[in-house]
Amino acid sequence: MVLRVDVVEAALKAHYGADPASPTRRVIALTPGGRLLDDALASELAQESDLTLLCGRYEGFDERILEHFVTDQVSIGRYVIAGGELAAMVVSDAVLRKLPGVLGKDESAVEESFSEALEGGVEYPHYTRPAQWRGWSVPEVLLSGHHERIREWRREQSRLRSLP
């Protein structure tokens, strides 16, 4: 079973009130073989004023949908899941948390794994209270209150964790 081109056209027309061929908006089909979702793509999509996400089921989409109604194909990984709904939720979550006001503090989304702030690397380790637990200690530098040294330590940890 394949999603029909006439049915998807009718759905898009009913919702947006325009011919969906050659879309001016960003219309994304979730497909296993599409562009892999990564931090850069999430940031790119977060700049859009709106997005349309099309979810497949069964064998996927009639190719004419992908050729004429869709601007991008996006994959959440090189594996196959049963339907595009979970993939659309993953894309939505990754994009929405980059929008101003979504997180408690907007800066929280800036210095994260794969971000430009960490030069695409993975994030450094985090610790919280208690400073000692069963003999497992929080690194001394993090208790020092010395912000510059803490910043340097975090950058170094991020670099070490990101080594191939």
Positions touching ligand SAM (CB under 6 A) are 30-33, 55-57, 59-61, 75-77, 79-84, 87
Nearest approach in angstroms of CB 114 to ligand SAM is 18
99 Cβ partners below 8 Å, 6+ apart? Answer: 46
Nearest approach in angstroms of CB 83 to ligand SAM is 5
Minimum CB distance to ligand SAM smaller for 84 or for 121 = 84
Nearest approach in angstroms of CB 4 to ligand SAM is 13
- Angle, in degrees to the nearest 10, between helices 84-96 and 39-46: 70
Q: Which alpha helices (H) appear in the chain, and where do they start and end? A: 5-16, 39-46, 63-68, 84-96, 140-143, 147-162
Minimum CB distance to ligand SAM smaller for 75 or for 162 = 75
Nearest approach in angstroms of CB 72 to ligand SAM is 12
Minimum CB distance to ligand SAM smaller for 72 or for 123 = 72
Edge-first strand order for the sheet with 26-36 is: 51-54, 26-36, 72-75
Minimum CB distance to ligand SAM smaller for 76 or for 109 = 76
Residue nearest to ligand SAM (CB): 56
State the burial class of residue 45 (Cβ atoms within 10 Å of its Cβ: 0-12, 13-18, 19+).
Answer: buried
